[in-house]
Amino acid sequence: MTKESGVFDTSMLIRHDIGEMPNINAAFIRDPRWKAHVASQITLYDQIIIPTHDYGVVAALVNWLGKEVFLDALETGAFRFVRTQDLLGYAGNGVGISGYTIDQGNSSTTQQWWQIALFKEPDRAIVAQLKNLCPKLLDPDITQLIDKILPNCSLSRYNNETFMKHIVHETYGAILHSQDLCNLVRNIVGANEGHIDLQRLPGIAANQLRTGIREDNRDAIDLVLRIAEFHRDLLIAADYPTADLYVPEGAERILAQKITRLNVSSTFTEGLFKLLDLNELPNVEEAVTSGKVDLVDIWCLRQKKEAYEFRRWLKNASPKDARDLERLYVSVLGSQSWISSTPGRVLRFVITTASGILGPLGSSIVGAIDSFFLERWLGGYSPKLFLDRYQNLFKKR
């Protein structure tokens, strides 16, 4: 099937925590909110592009959909898995944001299965996840799955220069050019004013490496890593230029600030970001979370002709299409009994456009651009942003 629409879903990255990955992946599988999130996304898009460190999300999808439906989904191209080439951390002694990996080297120590999943080749990583997190699968099942999963996998690739310029430096710049983010960092570290050294934040010793973003008791380092993760997502997602970006709220503010720093007239930037709100839609997420409907049932609904037409329209939608899109979405789900017993929900999209902007601006600003997003945006890359209402880059939690 031709991929008519897609979304690069940053929320489905299972964040790493060295030594805790088995527990983290198992908790992700048990959490009905993620299963519900997938149900919602498959009604909106033909393909969900999922960044991953260790392919734990593959095991989750097999558990939620069952082997046969998952294989059917792979055949239709519904899922693609993009492995990040390294992990994000924050090192002490003024190093700050870092990318790292762990190599067994010449050690004869046997790696645990979660280490294989995190650091070894895709086929070994996926087998490790399926063997340990999908207990009902037999060896022939795993072989069959591997043959279908691997063609839907890819690896993000960028060199150290790109990492430093477009992840590390852009992260620091995004924070320092945002009064709100600067104030948030100051509030967290207890500094009311003055320069913020983002490479020497408190909470880590000179010889330590923070190996991931903490979900509890977050500090300024976690905030910086979250912004860095967003910039890494932008870098990877650009390999899928026709896909929407599912991003935390606040992402649109960071991108708008990058454009503002071009110091161009508001005449050029006016109207480049437009909101598309779909209101009071049947709440698929709540229905799946509460057990009123199963993810497999939603998969069957999204195969209908009306569902396909909705996804075509949403791909190229403008704000004036909102009411018609709402009606079509309702028709996709039909007269399901759970619809009347669940509250409605709002989907918020930010439509970006770079149409015609490079010509008027000319070459006068091109040399001053220090942002990967702006380079691509001025060249015509204008993804639609789908805002995650559960996460906000401008809040500590």
Per-residue pLDDT band at 195 (split at 50, 70, 90): confident
From the centroid of its chain, how far is CA 4? Answer: 19
Of 215, 224, 247, nearest in space to 10 by CA: 247
Beta carbons of 257 and 240 less than 8 angstroms apart: no
Beta carbons of 293 and 338 less than 8 angstroms apart: yes
Structure tokens at 168: 């590390």
Cα distance between residue 93 and residue 4, in whole Å:
48
Is the pLDDT confidence value at 123 over 90? Answer: yes
Is the pLDDT confidence value at 30 over 90? Answer: yes
% of the chain beyond a pLDDT of 90: 60
Per-residue pLDDT band at 213 (split at 50, 70, 90): confident
Which of 169-173, 305-309, 359-363 has the least mean pLDDT?
A: 359-363
The count of residues in the chain is 397
- Please state the domain extents for the chain: 12-86+114-155, 273-350
- Rounded average pLDDT over 216-232: 91
Mean pLDDT for all residues in the chain: 87
Of 87, 5, 82, nearest in space to 41 by CA: 5
Please report the DSSP string for 111-158 in residue order: PPHHHHHHHS-HHHHHHHHHHHH-TT--HHHHHHHHHHHGGGEEE---
Cα distance between residue 251 and residue 168, in whole Å:
17
Helices (H) and strands (E) in the chain — how many of each? 19, 11
At residue 241, the 3 state secondary structure works out as coil
pLDDT at residue 261, rounded to an integer: 73
Q: How many CB atoms lie within 10 A of CB 96?
A: 22
Per-residue pLDDT band at 230 (split at 50, 70, 90): very high
Is the pLDDT confidence value at 41 over 50? Answer: yes
- Rounded average pLDDT over 65-83: 97
Q: In sequence order, what are the residues at sequence separation of 6 or more whose Cβ sits closer than 8 angstroms to the Cβ of residue 280?
A: 326, 344, 345, 346
At residue 160, the 3 state secondary structure works out as helix
Of 363 and 149, the structure prediction assigns the larger pLDDT to 149
pLDDT at residue 106, rounded to an integer: 62
Cα distance between residue 21 and residue 93, in whole Å:
27
Q: How many CB atoms lie within 10 A of CB 56?
A: 27
Per-residue pLDDT band at 167 (split at 50, 70, 90): very high
Per-residue pLDDT band at 308 (split at 50, 70, 90): very high
% of the chain beyond a pLDDT of 70: 90
| 263-298 pLDDT tens trace | 655 555 556 788 899 998 889 999 999 999 999 999
Cα distance between residue 81 and residue 72, in whole Å:
16
pLDDT at residue 243, rounded to an integer: 94
Per-residue pLDDT band at 111 (split at 50, 70, 90): confident
Of 128, 56, 11, 44, nearest in space to 311 by CA: 44
| 339-353 pLDDT tens trace | 877 888 899 999 877
Is the pLDDT confidence value at 397 over 70? Answer: no
pLDDT at residue 356, rounded to an integer: 46
Per-residue pLDDT band at 56 (split at 50, 70, 90): very high
Which of 223-232, 245-254, 264-273, 286-295 has the least mean pLDDT?
A: 264-273
Q: What DSSP designation does 339 have?
A: G
Whole-model pTM over 0.85 = yes
Cα distance between residue 139 and residue 45, in whole Å:
32
Which of 65-74, 76-85, 204-213, 350-359 has the least mean pLDDT?
A: 350-359
Is the pLDDT confidence value at 370 over 80? Answer: no
Of 57, 4, 10, 9, nearest in space to 29 by CA: 57
| 353-364 pLDDT tens trace | 764 455 555 444
